[in-house]
């Protein structure tokens, strides 16, 4: 009974919707007794949306979700760019720190070399002063011991150099 009523209602709807042109033929016979007895059993869907149809609310929700998704993508891209910039700045800062430390180490090494060279030159100066004092003492001693002979040699040597 219920199935017959459904079939009849379906045929009536199809004939109303049919757009084939010409007069509508109504083969559907709806039994009024069944309609009165089972109104709660036969339910029609007023806003029938099948799986291929998208309602306007759903469409707006989809647009909103797409916009939110695009915004998240943009935010993620901006954050990646910021991270990349920070990483470059960080690497540049590290390079600067390394160069600064190398410069400081180089200056420290140059100062150490300078100090060592000063010590070497001071030692050479002391050695030269000691040699000069020794030569002076030897000369004084030679004058005392060999005074007159040495003067003759020195004077003769000086005269032979001059023309």
pTM listed for this prediction: 0.34
Give me the phi and psi of 60, to 5 degrees please: -65, -40
- Asked if 56 and 62 count as a contact pair (C-beta separation under 8 A), the reply is no
Give the angle subtended at the CA of 53 by the CAs of 52 and 54, to the nearest 5°. Answer: 125
DSSP state of 40: T
The token duo for 6 is: 């459904």
Give me the phi and psi of 61, to 5 degrees please: -65, -40
**Size (the chain), residues:** 163
pLDDT string in tens for the chain (163-residue length): 667 777 877 777 777 776 555 555 555 566 666 666 665 555 655 555 555 555 566 667 777 788 888 888 888 888 888 888 877 878 888 888 888 889 888 989 999 999 999 999 999 999 999 999 999 998 888 777 776 665 666 666 555 555 5
Indicate the SS3 state at residue 105: helix
């Amino acid at each position: 009974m219920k199935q017959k009523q459904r079939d009849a209602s379906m045929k009536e709807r199809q004939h109303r919707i049919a757009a084939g042109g010409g007069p509508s033929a109504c083969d559907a016979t709806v039994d009024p007794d069944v309609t009165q007895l089972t109104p709660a059993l036969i339910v029609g869907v007023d806003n029938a949306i099948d799986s291929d149809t998208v309602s306007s609310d759903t469409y707006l929700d989809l647009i909103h979700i797409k916009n939110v998704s695009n915004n998240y993508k943009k935010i993620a891209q901006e954050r990646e760019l910021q991270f990349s910039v920070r990483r470059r700045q960080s690497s540049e800062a590290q390079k600067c720190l390394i160069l600064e430390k190398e410069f400081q180490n180089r200056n420290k090494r140059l100062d150490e070399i300078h100090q060592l060279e000063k010590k070497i030159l001071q030692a050479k100066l002391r050695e030269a002063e000691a040699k000069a004092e020794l030569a002076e003492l030897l000369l004084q001693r030679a004058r005392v011991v060999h005074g007159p002979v040495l003067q003759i040699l020195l004077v003769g040597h000086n005269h032979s150099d001059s023309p």
